[in-house]
Chains A and B, each alone.
Chain A
Amino acid sequence: MSHEIRKPPIAIVGFPRSGTTLLRRLLDAHPHIDSPGESYLLSACARFIHADRVVDGVEAGVLGGLELLGTSRDEVTGRLRKLVFDLRDERARRVGKSRWAEKTAIDGFHLDAIRRIFADELTYVCVIRHGLDVCVSTLEWCQRIESFPAELHRYVAQHSQPLVAFAHAWVDVMQALERLQQDGRERTFVVRYEHLVTAPEDVLRELLEHLGETWVEGLVDGALASGLPDGFGDWKAYGRVTVDARSVGRWRSLSDGTLRQLAPIVNPTLSRWGYDPIDLDGELTQAVALRRYELSLLAQRAKLTARNEAEVRPPAEPQAN
C-alpha cells in the first residue's frame, strides 16, 4: 500500500456519550491531525461485511459470497480499507493535515468487524466513561433526538426499560474494547472521560505522546473556541465551550430502585475498568418494592396537597407605605 501519510490513522472508539466527540474536537485542533465530523466510514465498512450465520454455521454475507465467486476475503477487506484510506487521506491533504482521526459515535458497536477490516493499520483510542453516567446521558440524547439509533434500538427491543437496554449495550461495547485491548495493547490507548474533563491538558499530552505527535500550547482552549461543526456530530458536545466535570457522577440522581436494577448489569464491567461498583444497602425484595411504590404515591399526594393549598391561599395584602 502506498500511503503518503506515514503515521497510522486514528480511530476514536467508545460508547456514544462517552466523550468521543470532545476528544475528537481536541485532536482536530492539533495542526497535524484532521479529525472532522462523523463520516460513518468505519461502521459502514463493518456493515458491508456483516454476515448472518445460517444453517450449519455458514456465514452468509458479502465475504463468503464473493469468496465462492473467486474473490478472497482479504481482497475484499483490502479494497474496503483502501477506499477508506483514500477518502480520508484526500480529505486530510485538502485541509492541510498529515494524519487523520476517524470518529463516529456508533463505531463502538462494530468494533470487532472494524478490526477485522483494518487489523493493525489503525491506532485505537478508546474513550471510556462510567456506565451509568453513559446510560443517563444516552437516555437524554435519545429523548432529544426522539429516536434510538439502530445499534441501540436492538437493545431497546429486548429490554422495555431504556436504561436497562443501554446498560446492556454499554457492557457489550466495553467487552469489545476489552478484546481490542487484550489483542493489541501497543496499538491502543485508553482515555478515561472522568480524567479528560478534569485534566484535559494532562490527558491530551499523554495521548499525543503515545501517538507520536508534539504538544501544542493552547490546544484545549483553541479546540473548544472553534466555530461551527464540521460535519455530522453530537449536538450536545458542540455546545461545549469549556471542559468541565459537571457531568461526572450524574448517575447518582437515579432512583434507588433503578440503581438496584442496573447495578447487577454494570458492576462486573465497572470493576474490570477500575470504577467502583454500585454499592447499595439491602436487597430489592418484593416487600421493599411495594413499600417504595406506596411511598411514591404518598410523595405525589404530598406535592399535590401542597400545590392545592398554595392555590386556595388568598394573595398577600399589599403592604401600606
Chain B
Amino acid sequence: MNMTAKIREIGKQGRGREELLAVLREARESYGCLTPEVIVELAAGLDLPVGEVYGVATFYSFLSTRPKGRNNIRICKSIPCFLKDSQIIIDTVAEAIDIQPGETTADNRFSFELTNCIGACDKAPAMMVNHRVYGGLTPAEIARILAEHK
C-alpha cells in the first residue's frame, strides 16, 4: 500500500490521532521534511484539523518542518558529552562537511544539528547519524563514519 492510501485508510478508521506521530515520522523520512503542503495533505487524509497536525509536527525534535539532508547528524551537546570535549567533535564535523549546526550541505547529503542527551553518556562524546548511535568519538573517526552515509 502506498503512503497516501495508507493514510486515507487510517483516517477512515478514525485512528488519525492515535497514528499521527507514526505517520508524521514516516512522512518526514520519505519526504525529507514536513512542508506546509505535506501537512495539509496529511491532515485531510487523517481527518484532523491542519492546525493540530502542524502543532504536533513542530513540537518534536525528530520531526522537522524545514528541509533536511538525506542523512541527519545529531551531536550531543549535553553536559556529560561536553565534559568529554564534544566541542572538538562538533568542530570536526562542521569542518568535514563545511556547514554549521542547523544547516544542510548543498548536495543534500547531510544535515547537522546539536541535540540534548541521547542516553549514551557512558560512551561520551556521542552522536547519532539517522537512527544509529556512535559513541566514544574521536576526531580521527569522523571521516570514516561520515563515509558510511552516502
A and B are interacting partners: no
B residues near A (Cβ < 8 Å) are none
